[in-house]
Amino acid sequence: MASQAILGELKEKLAGGAKSACVSHGVLVLEIDPAAVGATALLLRDELGFDLLLDVTAVDWLGQTPRFEVVHHFYSTSRFVRVRLKHRVPEEDPTSESLTGLYGAARYMERECHDMYGIAFRGNPDLRPILLYEGFLGHPLRKDYPKEREQPLVPYRR
């Protein structure tokens, strides 16, 4: 498989800057230091041809420290491979670096991630709610968010 060879080559190039690197189910997975997000994304976009930011999300590993794992997916439209960047952010300071300067697509995706997990992206000027509404309390995809909770309603909706 050609993509396996490309992923192997990318792994060699990127493994130095990462805590761990492996190829899993056809995706190169890199665990990186939170401080290295911007630099790694810049390297991916400008030198390795990853021109599409596919997705920004997070996983809440309740009970582990650091608690949140922020996950980015990138795709290269010239080499047809995907890279997953993962880094952990602590519960006390759930902030991560924004990629809005590199990819326009990051704007909405980071807003969603902020809605759902309360992760603030430094450098994203617009973290207004996108799927939720103004005044929604809490972050629903956190594992400790009670599913049954009722929200304060917007007055005229009553």
Partner 1 sequence: MTEPVSEKLPNPIRPAFDRIEGEELTVVSIGPSHPATHGTIQIIAALDGEKVVRADVHCGYLHRGFEKECEDHTWHNLIPYVDRLNYCSALINNFAYCGAVETLWGIEITPRCRYLRTLLSEYARIADHVTCIGAIFMELGAMTPFLYLMTLRDYIYEHLANLTGARITHSYGRIGGLARDLPDGWLERLEEILREYEVFVGRAHAMMDRNRIFIDRTRGVGVLTTAEALDWGFTGPILRSTGAPRDLRKDTPYLAYAELDFEVPVGIQGDNYDRYYVRMREMDESVRMIRQLVDLLPEGPVNVGDHRCSFPEKRLVYSEIESLIDHFKLVMEGPRAPAGEVYVAHEASNGELGFYVVGTGDGRPYKIHVRAPSFVHMGGMHRLLEGYQLADVVATFGSMNMIGGECDR
Point out which residues bind partner 1 (CB under 8 A): 3, 24-25, 27, 51-55, 57, 59-60, 71, 73, 75, 77, 80, 82, 84, 103-105, 107-109, 112, 116, 126, 128-135, 137, 140-141, 145, 147, 150-155, 157-158
Pick the closer one to partner 1 by CB: 92 or 150. 150
Nearer to partner 1, 79 or 95 (CB): 79
User: Buried b vs exposed e over 105-126: b needs ≥16 C-beta within 10 Å?
Assistant: ebbebbbbbbbbbbbbbeebee
Minimum distance from residue 30 beta carbon to partner 1 (Å): 13
Q: CB of 91: closest distance to partner 1 in angstroms?
A: 17
Residue placing its CB nearer to partner 1 in the complex, 9 or 112: 112
Residue 94 CB, nearest approach to partner 1 (Å): 16
The residue (of 35 and 47) whose beta carbon lies closer to partner 1 is 47
* Residues contacting residue 100 through CB under 8 Å, at least 6 positions apart: 106, 107, 110, 121, 123, 124, 125
Interatomic CA distance for residues 14 and 22, integer angstroms = 10
Measured between alpha carbons, how far is 86 from 57 in angstroms, rounded to an integer?
10
Give the Cα-Cα-Cα angle 25, 30, 32 (nearest 5 degrees).
155
